[in-house]
Structure 1
Amino acid sequence: MVSILVISHSYHVAKSVVELLGEMKSEPFKFDYLGGIEDHQAFGTDVLAIKNKIKTIDEGDGVLIIADMGSSIMNSQMVLTMLDESLAKRVKIANAPFFEAILASVVANQPQMSVDELLMVAQSTLNQKKF
C-alpha cells in the first residue's frame, strides 16, 4: 500500500495530526510524520530526515508526502533529487490543504491504489467547501 508521510515545521503539529487521523485508517499502511529540528525543540524541517523517513516507510507502492508550507515543501522537493530514480518516481508531494488532504488520503487509501491515484485524492481537496 501507499505510505503517507506528514511533514510540518512543528513536531507537535505533525505528531498530533497523525495521532488524530490515524484513527480514520481502515487499512494497515505506513502513516508517519516528521516535524521540527534540533530534537524537536525548534521549528523547521530537515532534508536528510525526510530522505531517511521516505526510505524507511516505503513498502514498494510509493510514498505520498503532505507538507504544511514553505521549507517543508521545498525540502521535500529537494529530497526527490537525492533519491535513486526508481524510488523518486514513487514519491509524490501533494499540492493541497494540509489537514484536509491528510484526512482524505487516510480515508481513501486502499490496497491496489497507486501513489498517483492517492495524490489525486489529496489534491481534490483544493476546492472543498466546509459547508
Structure 2
Amino acid sequence: MVGLVVVSHSAKAAEGICEVAAQMASNARIEPAGGDEAGLGTSVDRITAAIEAADDGEGVVVLVDLGSAVMNAELAIEMSEGVEARIADAPVLEAAVNAAVESTSKKATLDSVVAAAEEARDYRKLN
C-alpha cells in the first residue's frame, strides 16, 4: 500500500490531519511528521523517520503545509534510501483525505495517489 506522510510546522496539526484522513480511510498508512525540537517548525529527521515508517515498498506520498516544509521534505526524501517518495502539490488537509482514500484501493499506485491528492487543488468551498 502506498504510504502517506503529513508534514506540518505543528505536531498537533500533523496529528490532527492524519486523524481526519484516517476517519475516511481507516486502513491507510499515514504518518505525521510535525514540529521540530523547539516546537513549531519542521525537522528533516522527523520527516525521514516518517517516510521510512510509512513505506512498505510501494512508495510514499508526502503532503506539506508551508515554505520550509517543502525544502525539508525534499531533503528527507533524498536521505530516505531505497524509498520512492514524492511530494504532492496540494492543500494538505484535503489532499490527505483524497490520498488516504485512494491509497486503500487495490489498484492504487504512487502516481494515482499523488494525482488524487493534487485533485484537491481545484476544490471550492463556496460557489
TM-score clears 0.5: yes
Equivalent residue letter for 2:120: T
Post-superposition offset of 1:104: 1.1
1:112 and 2:119 equivalent?
no
Question: Of residues 54, 64, 89 in structure 2, which corresponds to 1:95?
Answer: 89
In the alignment, the residues of structure 2 paired with residue 74 and residue 60 of structure 1 have an alpha-carbon distance, to the nearest angstrom, of: 24
Q: How many residues align?
A: 125
In the alignment, the residues of structure 1 paired with residue 36 and residue 80 of structure 2 have an alpha-carbon distance, to the nearest angstrom, of: 21
Query: What SS does the corresponding residue of 1:96 show, helix, strand or coil?
Result: coil
Question: Of residues 56, 61, 70 in structure 2, which corresponds to 1:59?
Answer: 56
Length-normalised TM-score, structure 1: 0.87
Coordinate RMSD, CA, aligned? 1.5
Matches within 5 A, 1:28-107: 28-38=27-37, 42-84=39-81, 86-87=82-83, 90-107=84-101
Runs of 4+ in 1 over 4 A off after TM superposition: none
User: Which blocks of at least 5 consecutive residues in structure 2 are unaligned?
Assistant: none
Contact 1:3/1:61 (<8 A) preserved: yes
Contact 1:92/1:116 (<8 A) preserved: no
Match of residue 122 from structure 1: 117
Q: Which moved more, 1:73-82 or 1:113-122?
A: 73-82
Query: Sequence identity, in percent?
Result: 30
In the alignment, the residues of structure 2 paired with residue 128 and residue 121 of structure 1 have an alpha-carbon distance, to the nearest angstrom, of: 12
User: Which blocks of at least 5 consecutive residues in structure 1 are unaligned?
Assistant: none
Cα-to-partner distance string for 1:6-36 (whole Å, 9 max, x where unaligned): 110001111111112211115x231110111
Equivalent residue letter for 2:62: I
